[in-house]
Structure formats: C-alpha cells, structure tokens
Amino acid sequence: MGGTGSGSGAPSAVVADWGLVFWTLCAVILPVLITLWCSFQRSRRQVLIRDIFRKSKHDWHYTDLFGQPSYCCVCAQHILQGAFCNCCGLRVSEGCLKKADQLFLCKEIMMRSNGGAHSSMPHHWIRGNVPLCSCCMICKQQCGTQPKLCDYRCVWCQYTVHDECMMDCLKTEECTFGEFRDLIIPPYYLSTINQMRKDKRTNYEKVVPYCRKHWMPVIILANTRSGNNMGETLLGEFKILLNPVQVFDLSKIAPAKALQLCTLLPCNAVRVLVCGGDGTVGWVLDAIDEMKIKGQERYIPQVAILPLGTGNDLSNTLGWGAGYAGEVPVEQILRNVMEADGIKLDRWKVQVTNKGYYNLRKPKVFTMNNYFSVGPDALMALNFHAHREKTPSLFSSRIINKAVYFFYGTKDCLVQECKDLNKKVELELDGERIELPNLEGIIVLNIGYWGGGCRLWEGMGDEPYPLARHDDGLLEVVGVHGSFHCAQIQVKLANPVRLGQAHTVRLILKSSKMPMQVDGEPWAQGPCTVTITHKTHALMLYHSGEQTDDEASSLSEQDHLREQTDEEV
C-alpha cells in the first residue's frame, strides 16, 4: 500500500513542477512579447509620422507634452501629446495628423500668382488653441477661456476673435499684419518680386508693401547649437509671428546664403537679428563683409543680437544683455529690434606671422570684433575648447560652461603656466615700444565688456582714464598679473595694468609657445609676430534698455571725467 501511494505521488509532483515552469515562462516571455510588439508598433507609427512630416507643407514637430492646455483641431478632443506646426500653430493628435494635413493650409510664404499683382491679402484664421490672455478684436474680452476647442486666431496679424463674434465679413477682410507689420515680409511682396525678376526689373524700392514709410523687414538667423540650446524653440516662435521665409536655422544654411534675401528687399532697410553667441555674430558679420566684396554694399543690413552663448560680451556692450534664457517674450524682442538705434562697430584684422627664415607658410589672418589676448584667459579658453571637443554633449548649459571656465581658472592660479610673459614678448603701440611690468597676460580690447560681463578697461572705476569706445578706431591694451588678478578685476577688487590706447598694435612672441585667442577661438602659438590693424566697420543696432547699477555708475563716472577734461581744455 505504501509503495503504491508513493508511486502515484511522483507523477503528480512532476506535473506540478512542469506547470510551475510553464507559468514561470509565461510570466517572463509574455511581457517581453508585449514589449516587442509595442516597440514594433511604435516604430511603425514613427515611420508613418516621419513620412507625413517629410511630405507636408506644414512644419510639423512632435511633442510628448504640450506646454499649455491643447485641443486637437480635427476631433476637438483634449490632448496632452501630439504634433504642432511651427509656422501656423495648428495642434493635432497623432491619430488625426494625416487628416489635419489634408484639411488645413499652412502659412504661404509667397502668394500663388493668378495673373495679377497683389497688394493685400485676407486673414488666415485658425480655430482653437489661442494664446493665453489674448483679447477679441471685436468685443475686447478675453479669448480661449472655455475648456474646449474654441475661438479663432489669424496666423499673420495674431488677432483673435470669439466664435460668436466671428462674422462673414471678417473671413474676407484685409489683414493688416498686426503689430509687427513693419517687420513682416508679406507673401504678396515676394510674388511681385518674383514676377519682376522674370521681367528683369530690379527697382524693388517701388514695391514697398501697404504703403508703409518705415518698413524695416527683419531676418532671423538662429544658431540652434549655441549656449543653452534655446535656438530651436525660438525658431518656432519667430515663424509664428513672421513670415517663415524670414527665419533661418544656421545649422542648416550658411549666413552668406541666408543674407541673399536682403538683395530682394529695399536698400538700407533690412535688420538682422542674430540668435547665438559672439562667435555666431562674428560668423554673420564675416558673411556681410563678403556681400561688400560682391558689390552688394547697398543691401548691407543692420545687426541686432539675442545672446544665447556663454560670454556674450559683444551683446552686453551693445545693450542686448548678458544672456537670454526665455525671460523676455519674443514679441518684446521684436519691439526692441524695431526701436533700436543704428551704430558702428570697429572690426580689426589680426595677422599672425610665424618666425623663421624658411617659413613659407602664409600668415594666419583673423577678424576681431571683441578682443585678442595672450596669457591666462587664452589658456582657460584653450582648455575649455579641448574639453568640449572631446565631450560636446556635456556643454549644453551656460552654467556648466562657466563652471568649467572657473575650474580651469582656479587650476591656473596654482600652476601659473603663463608667468614671466613680459620676458617673452615685446609690445608696440602705434610703433612705440612699451616697457612691460611683470605680467602673465596681455589683452587687446575693442569693446567695453570682457570675460562674461567685466568692464576690464575701467576696473574699479576709481582712476581717471580715457574713455573706451567701440567705434573710435582705437584699441585698449591692458595687462594682468594672472588668473587670480583677473578674478579680482571681475569683482571690482583690483584694476588692470593699463598699457595704453592705439590704432595699431604689434606684439612679438620671442620664444616658447603661448596660448592665444581671438574672440574666444583659442590656439597654442609658437614664436611669431601679431599685428592688429583696423579692417572695417560693421553696422550694428544698439538697444538702450534698462541699465544695471554698474553700467549706470560707470556712465556717470565717464560723464564726470569728460566734464573735467572739457573744463581743463
């Protein structure tokens, strides 16, 4: 009896073990299969979405989370994620994307020609998802207050209208292009210019749109790789407010090619807004110099800056601020561009000739807008540049960039790699030899700011000195005792060693290799002769906005010194 019982129990135990194995496998394999199936479906959807994006006339972008309450323009359902058009502002769910692409037209950058010339165009209304705090152009009450797809917005003038206020006459009414009509290039203007080019006529000044006397079309040049990576967002916001043909991504098109749009616009009327760091501004100014060489000088634009880089010293000097992080609305930026005053900026030729009787290589030639330096600040820039080349993904934040600069500056305080610079170089200002004190660095300034916001030439502001300007054809030359001295100057605890002002600067590196930089572009340089001479002027825009306490005190000190000089004369 006992043997039979034990024999019958063994098969049941085996069956139980196999059952456990089976359910364990199901528990492991089933989630894997579901995950693979979902991944396949997701990749399939992404391929379909990319195909729609590629063929569409809309500038679609996908987002996992909208920044404000949004409703699908097709099914009117509330959506958290989906696609939006960077040009006209349409928002749709993933499932309605194909239908929306067929139903709704995007902004037309150029009107279709039907045999006649155009001088106006009707509103282009889009329903729903109106901007927050916008008001109806009819009843002046707030729009978009109901939790559903409601109310209309014109993609050109940005006017909004309630559903109940929308009348048939508004659908055919002429669009005035709203607040920024002086900056927008209308689609009918481009169609007229296109017809004139076919007829080989070039008197574009006669085609000023809507009879505006102060038309100053703006061209946006944004570097999406600058500093804090805000360029992509800004591109979309500017395309919403302007004609998309005016907005260029410099990671996809070179400034020289983008600026050819100026040749289709009235002479001396165009303004360019460069969204990027000082390096991007220099790139654009070089492209403008190429226009002069091509004989296109009458089309030269004036340049404004939206600072997205790390240092932004040129932007700071011209009143556009030390850095942009989204705190100012894009609408206000465009107002600032309209109100800005035109000024000139000196640009300088920096020629570096290597020493040696058998040196057959051509001298290196740079164009300088901000400053040239040899010594500790150039060493910091060189180390930063080398680190960024190795791991570019780490340098996507302005704060991280400045922290890395601080690290290398602290390191140089201890190591002092550039000491005894005065024994290695000779300095001439306008042909006159300058006796150098014990220094680690020499900095040649064209603008007021240096090192991410420091007014280097002024120092603590407690000593009389000739005024520094960026349009007087003069360079300011200073010396520093090291990285620690640079840090003291930045917090106004020390003055630089002011070596003088000059129209021409000549620096001879007699021995060893030293770090040098021009406008933040560093390199290691052996024995050479560096000659800095005036090259040309750039037409810039100066924004006279709110001043900081430091700027106000600096300006008052400069005015006081000017009054003293006048009294002495």
Q: Which pLDDT tens digit goes with each residue over 149-204?
A: 999 999 999 999 999 998 877 877 889 899 999 999 999 888 888 888 777 776 66
Question: Is residue 436 within 8 Å of 477, Cβ to Cβ?
Answer: no
Q: Which structure tokens are listed for 84?
A: 């939006």
120-178: CATH topology: Wheat Germ Agglutinin (Isolectin 2); domain 1 (3.30.60)
Please list the residue range(s) of the chain that carry CATH number 3.40.50: 181-339
Please list the residue range(s) of the chain that carry CATH number 2.60.200.40: 347-536
Rounded Cα distance, 488 and 135, in Å: 51
With 80 as the cut, is the pLDDT of residue 112 above it? no
Residue with tokens 């040239």: 372
Q: Residue 399: what pLDDT?
A: 65
Domain 347-536: give its CATH code.
Answer: 2.60.200.40
pLDDT, one tens digit per residue, over 516-557 is 999 988 999 999 999 999 999 999 999 987 544 444 444 444
Question: Is residue 208 within 8 Å of 219, Cβ to Cβ?
Answer: no
List, in order, residues 6 or more apart from 121 with CB less than 8 Å away. Answer: 111, 156, 174, 175, 186, 187, 188
Please list the residue range(s) of the chain that carry CATH number 3.30.60.20: 55-110, 120-178
Q: Which structure tokens are listed for 128?
A: 């729903």
Distances 209 to 120, 190, 192, 271, 361 between C-alpha atoms, Å: 8, 10, 10, 16, 53
- Most confidently modeled range among 429-433, 468-472, 484-488, 564-568: 429-433
Amino acid letter for position 460: M
Rounded Cα distance, 420 and 406, in Å: 23
- Stretch 405-428: mean pLDDT: 72
With 70 as the cut, is the pLDDT of residue 4 above it? no
Cβ-based burial of 213 (10 A; exposed 0-12, middle 13-18, buried ≥19) = exposed
Q: Residue 563: what pLDDT?
A: 45
214-227 in b/e form (b: 16+ CB < 10 A) is: ebbbbbbbbbbbbb
Question: Is residue 101 within 8 Å of 54, Cβ to Cβ?
Answer: no
pTM of the predicted structure, to 2 decimals: 0.84
Q: How many CB atoms lie within 10 A of CB 545?
A: 13
Domain 55-110: give its CATH code.
Answer: 3.30.60.20
Domain 181-339: give its CATH code.
Answer: 3.40.50
Question: Is residue 554 within 8 Å of 455, Cβ to Cβ?
Answer: yes
Percent of the chain scoring above 90 in pLDDT: 44
Give 562 or 190, the one with higher predicted confidence: 190
Residue ranges of E strands in 120-197: 125-127, 152-154, 160-161
Q: Residue 130: what pLDDT?
A: 93
Q: Residue 249: what pLDDT?
A: 94
Q: Residue 359: what pLDDT?
A: 63
Q: Residue 40: what pLDDT?
A: 76
Q: How many CB atoms lie within 10 A of CB 79?
A: 21
What are phi and psi for residue 442, nearest 5 degrees? -125, 130
